[in-house]
């Protein structure tokens, strides 16, 4: 295999591996969130009753989104790592490699939420981004790095 083609293959393999690792961490994250959401839903239904329709349904949905936001913002702004990111040895950092501020983490969460609702456009973006960033990372000035490569700020 010519060197030019081999180099491209290795670069693509590296890109695919890192994106796959991030997506698998997302699956792990979803398992953690499911447990949290089940507990919150149990408490909500215990207090307010059936929430399958009407205003209670929308209030529960908003509460679940807010609880997930609190989880992510707290983790990203304290250590840069959620439970899933710790397991996969990854970290969310700002442009300088430091831990996110609460404001930056909040912006990242809102952008990721909106862009995932738009048919996962944020994930598709990463396939073509020169730095392998998700679109919400590109726009919020954050990045996901290997934990050992992060600069603790």
CB 122 within 8 A of CB 116: yes
Q: What is the pLDDT confidence band of residue 19, given thresholds at 50, 70 and 90? A: confident
pLDDT of 9 reads 52
Query: Average pLDDT, stretch 130-140?
Result: 94
pLDDT, tens digit, 9 for 90 and up, residues 54-88: 999 999 999 999 999 999 999 999 999 999 999 99
Query: Average pLDDT, stretch 95-121?
Result: 96
Q: Is the pLDDT of residue 11 over 80?
A: no
Q: Is the pLDDT of residue 115 over 50?
A: yes
Query: Average pLDDT, stretch 127-134?
Result: 89
pLDDT of 2 reads 57
**17, two tokens:** 């591996």
Q: What is the pLDDT confidence band of residue 153, given thresholds at 50, 70 and 90? A: very low
Q: What is the pLDDT confidence band of residue 121, given thresholds at 50, 70 and 90? A: very high
For the chain, give the DSSP string.
Answer: --HHHHHHHHHHHHHHHHHHHHHHHHHHHHHHHHHHHHHHHHHHHHHH---SSHHHHHHHHHHHHHHHHHHHHHHHHHTS--HHHHHTTEEEEETTSSPPPHHHHHHHHHHHHHHHHTTTHHHHHHHH-TT---HHHHHHTEEEEEGGGSPP-
Q: Is the pLDDT of residue 7 over 70?
A: no
């Amino acid at each position: 295999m010519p060197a030019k083609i081999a180099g491209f293959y290795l670069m693509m393999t590296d890109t695919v591996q890192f994106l796959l690792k991030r997506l698998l961490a997302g699956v792990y994250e979803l398992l953690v969130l499911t447990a949290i959401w089940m507990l919150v839903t149990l408490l909500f239904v215990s207090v307010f009753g059936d929430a399958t329709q009407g205003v209670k349904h929308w209030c529960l949905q908003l509460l679940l989104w807010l609880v997930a936001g609190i989880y992510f913002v707290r983790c990203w702004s304290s250590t840069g790592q959620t439970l899933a990111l710790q397991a996969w040895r990854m970290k969310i950092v700002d442009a300088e490699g430091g831990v996110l501020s609460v404001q930056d983490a909040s912006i990242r969460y809102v952008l990721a939420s909106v862009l995932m609702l738009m048919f996962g456009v944020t994930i598709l973006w990463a396939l073509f981004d020169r730095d392998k960033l998700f679109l919400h990372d590109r726009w919020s000035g954050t990045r996901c790095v290997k934990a050992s490569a992060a600069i603790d700020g």
